[in-house]
Chain A
Amino acid sequence: DGGITQSPKYLFRKEGQNVTLSCEQNLNHDAMYWYRQDPGQGLRLIYYSQIVNDFQKGDIAEGYSVSREKKESFPLTVTSAQKNPTAFYLCASSISTSSSYEQYFGPGTRLTVT
Chain B
Amino acid sequence: AQSVAQPEDQVNVAEGNPLTVKCTYSVSGNPYLFWYVQYPNRGLQFLLKYITGDNLVKGSYGFEAEFNKSQTSFHLKKPSALVSDSALYFCAVRDRETNAGKSTFGDGTTLTVKP
**Residues 18-73 of B at the A interface (beta carbon under 8 Å):** 32, 34, 36, 41-46, 49, 51
Task: State the CA gap A99–B32 with chains docked (Å).
Answer: 7
The reply to whether B43 and A100 contact each other, CB–CB distance below 8 Å, is no
Task: Determine if B107 is an interface residue (Cβ-Cβ < 8 Å).
Answer: yes
User: Mostly helix, strand, loop or mixed at chain B's interface?
Assistant: loop
Which of B34, B36, B42, B94 is A108 in contact with, Cβ under 8 Å? Answer: B42
Task: Determine if A31 is an interface residue (Cβ-Cβ < 8 Å).
Answer: yes
The reply to whether A97 and B101 contact each other, CB–CB distance below 8 Å, is yes
B93 to chain A, nearest CB (A): 10
The reply to whether B51 and A31 contact each other, CB–CB distance below 8 Å, is no
The reply to whether A42 and B44 contact each other, CB–CB distance below 8 Å, is no
Q: How large is the interface on B (under 10, 10 to 19, 20 to 34, 35 or more residues)?
A: 20 to 34
Give the residues in chain A near B34, CB-CB below 8 Å: 102-103
Task: Determine if A74 is an interface residue (Cβ-Cβ < 8 Å).
Answer: no
Q: Take A99-B32, A100-B32, A102-B49 as given contacts and tell me if A45 and B43 are in contact as well, using a CB distance cutoff of 8 Å.
A: no
Q: Take A43-B90, A105-B45 as given contacts and tell me if A97 and B107 are in contact as well, using a CB distance cutoff of 8 Å.
A: no
Kindly report which residue of chain A lies nearest to residue B108, judged by CB atoms: A42
Q: How large is the interface on A (under 10, 10 to 19, 20 to 34, 35 or more residues)?
A: 20 to 34
Give the residues in chain B near A65, CB-CB below 8 Å: none
Which of B41, B49, B90, B100 is A42 in contact with, Cβ under 8 Å? Answer: B90
Task: State the CA gap A41–B46 with chains docked (Å).
Answer: 19
Which of B42, B49, B103 is A107 in contact with, Cβ under 8 Å? Answer: B42
Task: Determine if B75 is an interface residue (Cβ-Cβ < 8 Å).
Answer: no
Task: State the CA gap A58–B42 with chains docked (Å).
Answer: 22
B95 to chain A, nearest CB (A): 7
A108 to chain B, nearest CB (A): 5
Q: Take A42-B90, A42-B108, A99-B95 as given contacts and tell me if A106 and B101 are in contact as well, using a CB distance cutoff of 8 Å.
A: no
B38 to chain A, nearest CB (A): 8
**Residues 60-104 of B at the A interface (beta carbon under 8 Å):** 90, 94-96, 99-103
Give the residues in chain B near A76, CB-CB below 8 Å: none
